């Protein structure tokens, strides 16, 4: 009985390790790259706020969240991003090909999403960043990309990544 337990524990551990390695490899392959002027390019959100990534991420970690109203996985990830925003984490959403300003605004309101959002109606901003899938989550500190991930993300997984970015990317 003990030998079976040890065997299955090893099998589970090996499987989890393999999944972790695959996940890291996929994130690396999908990782976006910031355009040359990304940190200093001004932008205006749907909420009528004007800033730059450098300013929004000064001495703090900003969550740059590429999502789409048509994206099934985003429907699960967006509430997590909203919870981070509600907890005081700076968030900037990029609504990828999700319709007009009014349509994106209505979607945000209907889904109780209050984080600042840029409407990327034609996908030009996402293309400039090299975003290949949604959702894509990019952590930015002091105008520089410090981490990115794609797909489903948990609240605590993102909180951990943000904490690590704050520790290891000190100004």
Cα gap 159→170, rounded to integer Å:
16
* pLDDT for res 25: 66
* pLDDT for res 23: 64
* pLDDT for res 159: 95
* pLDDT for res 87: 97
In a domain, 105, yes or no: yes
* pLDDT for res 36: 67
Residue 102 and residue 26 share a domain: no
In a domain, 3, yes or no: yes
Residue 22 and residue 46 share a domain: no
Residue 113 and residue 90 share a domain: yes
* pLDDT for res 24: 62
In a domain, 109, yes or no: yes
Residue 21 and residue 55 share a domain: no
CATH number of 147's domain? 3.40.30.10
Query: Got the DSSP string for 105-169?
Result: HHHHHHTT--SEEEEETTSHHHHHHT--SSSEEEEEETTEEEEEEES---HHHHHHHHHHHHHHT
Distances (CA, A) of 58 to 64, 75, 82, 170: 14, 29, 21, 11
Tracing tokens 């904490």 back to the chain, one arrives at: 163
In a domain, 143, yes or no: yes
Question: Which residue range is the domain that position 164 belongs to?
Answer: 42-169
Residue 89 and residue 15 share a domain: no
Q: SS3 for 99? A: coil
In a domain, 103, yes or no: yes
In DSSP terms, 92 is beta-bridged to 64, 116
* pLDDT for res 26: 64
* pLDDT for res 21: 72
* pLDDT for res 9: 85
Residue 107 and residue 52 share a domain: yes
In a domain, 131, yes or no: yes
Distances (CA, A) of 45 to 97, 117, 132, 165: 15, 5, 22, 25
How many domains are there within the chain?
A: 2
In a domain, 37, yes or no: no
What is the value of pTM for the model shown? 0.83
In a domain, 64, yes or no: yes
In DSSP terms, 43 is beta-bridged to 51
Residue 153 and residue 106 share a domain: yes
Residue 75 and residue 158 share a domain: yes
Tracing tokens 């349509």 back to the chain, one arrives at: 103
- How do the pLDDT tens digits run along the chain, 171 residues long? 788 888 888 888 888 777 767 666 666 655 676 666 878 889 899 999 999 999 999 989 999 999 999 999 999 999 999 999 999 999 999 999 999 999 999 999 999 999 999 999 999 999 999 998 999 999 999 999 988 999 999 999 999 989 988 887 654
Residue 46 and residue 20 share a domain: no
């Amino acid at each position: 009985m003990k030998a079976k337990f040890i065997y299955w524990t090893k099998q589970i551990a090996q499987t989890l390790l393999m999944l972790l390695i695959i996940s890291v490899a996929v994130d690396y392959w999908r990782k976006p790259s910031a355009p040359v002027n990304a940190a200093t390019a001004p932008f205006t959100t749907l909420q009528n706020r004007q800033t730059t990534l450098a300013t929004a991420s000064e001495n703090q970690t900003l969550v740059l969240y590429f999502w789409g109203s048509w994206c099934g996985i985003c429907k699960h990830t967006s509430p997590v991003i909203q919870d981070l925003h509600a907890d005081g984490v700076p968030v900037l959403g990029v609504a990828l090909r999700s319709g007009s300003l009014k349509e994106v605004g209505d979607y945000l309101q209907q889904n109780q999403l209050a984080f600042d959002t840029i409407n990327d109606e034609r996908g030009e901003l996402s293309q400039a960043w090299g975003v290949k899938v949604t959702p894509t989550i990019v952590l930015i500190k002091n105008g520089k990309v410090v981490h990115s991930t794609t797909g489903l993300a948990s609240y605590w997984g993102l909180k951990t990544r943000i904490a690590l970015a704050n520790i290891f990317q000190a100004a």
